[in-house]
Amino acid sequence: MATIENKVGRLKLEKYIATLPGVQAALDEARFEIAARAEALLLQHRQEGHASIDVVDGDVDKYVVLDDERGKKAALSIEYGRAESIAVRRRKDGTTQLEVIPASEGLFILARAANLPKKRKGKVHLD
């Protein structure tokens, strides 16, 4: 009885197809369109100007990334929002001050740019 391998050479069939030049070109085109929409959406909401849209090549996949490494490292909060929190600030004179950081709604920049549903990650409640 014959067996059928799910491989082309040493690659699994899915990876072989995904790495074909035509498939990679289609992924590049889709990534460019999503990144352009994400940049336009981010520009509408830019406050301090630190966050940016980047594109990254994976082994096979292509990614659009919301990057805030230069700012407050708040890309997750920008995308999904955040609950109200309290921060403790230490003053130069040695005293401490409690500061309430208000809740904020997520902008869903990447989700909207990719036409994905807006879903919160984790248990963030904005009551």
pLDDT at 127: 43
pLDDT at 72: 78
117 in a domain, yes or no?
no
CA distance 2 to 12: 19
73 in a domain, yes or no?
yes
17 in a domain, yes or no?
yes
124 in a domain, yes or no?
no
72 in a domain, yes or no?
yes
The 3-state DSSP class for residue 106 equals coil
pLDDT at 121: 57
Mean pLDDT by 10 residues, the chain (127 residues): 79 92 97 97 83 94 92 86 91 91 92 87 51
| Range(s) of the domain holding residue 31 | 7-111
13 in a domain, yes or no?
yes
| Residue 80: its H or E element | helix 75-80
121 in a domain, yes or no?
no
19 in a domain, yes or no?
yes
Structural domain total, the chain: 1
